[in-house]
Amino acid sequence: MTETDSTTLRCPGCREARGTLGLLSILRKLKSTPDQEVRILLLGLDNGGKTTLLKQLASEDISHITPTQGFNIKSVQSQGFKLNVWDIGGQRKIRPYWKNYFENTDVLIYVIDSADRKRFEETGQELAELLEEEKLSGVPVLVFANKQDLLTAAPASEIAEGLNLHTIRDRVWQIQSCSALTGEGVQDGMNWVCKSVNSRRK
């Protein structure tokens, strides 16, 4: 028996919807105590593809995506596991509120538009500031180098070098090429997330 919840909260009102989420294969890899909750924070600049990624994970329709004005939450309960993914809007005016969601984060997923080279510096600064946050200290970081389906996309290795990811010493991290649109690379990234959660909780 699987129970799924899909909730979208927007400012000022909120809307609730229910859908079928395709995360069972990921959840089965999380071997630990019953009813374990995993909190994943999904951040990145606006238009990076966070909501598309979230819907791809949830096996939902991605043909109509609107910018996230508040935040989206998706939760899945299965076999004693509950995975909570918080997708926070990335517009400049919303970013100061990111800190309200840092508490009890198990994994930070940071999404980058690999084809938007003009904003690499901006996205790098935001990521650097997140890594300095006390409440995110030691939290594993997965960087999704998204939009690899575009011909203009920079490879993950180039982005990793530009963001100086190799200088990160206080936590485990991974950069994963992906396309939220096609789903390519998304599962590989989430497998890494599961391994990171398990190793931290042993």
Residue 104, marked binder = no
50 labeled binding residue? yes
Residue with tokens 């409440």: 135
191 a known binding residue?
no
Q: DSSP H helical segments within the chain, as ranges? A: 24-28, 50-57, 120-132, 156-162, 186-201
Catalytic site includes residue 91: yes
Q: Is 47 annotated as a binding residue?
A: yes
Question: Has 70 been labeled as part of a binding site?
Answer: no
Is 72 annotated as a binding-site member? no
Residue with tokens 């904003």, as numbered in its chain: 119
Crossing angle of helices 186-201 and 50-57, rounded to 10°: 80
Question: Over the range 139-154, which residues count as b (16 or more CB within 10 Å of their CB) and which as e?
Answer: bbbbbbbbbbeeeebb
Q: Is 149 annotated as a binding residue?
A: yes
What is the layout of strands, in order, in the sheet containing 81-88? 14-17, 2-9, 71-78, 81-88, 36-43, 107-113, 141-146, 173-177
Q: 49: annotated binding-site residue?
A: yes
* 77 labeled part of a ligand binding site: no
Catalytic residue (choose from 91, 125, 174, 176): 91
Question: Rg of the chain over CA atoms, in angstroms?
Answer: 16
142 is in an annotated binding site: no
Angle at 65 between CA 2 and CA 157, to 5 degrees: 90
Annotated binding site for Mg(2+): 51, 68
Catalytic residues: 91
Binding site, annotated residues for GTP: 44-51, 90, 146-149
User: Residue positions in the annotated binding site?
Assistant: 44-51, 68, 90, 146-149
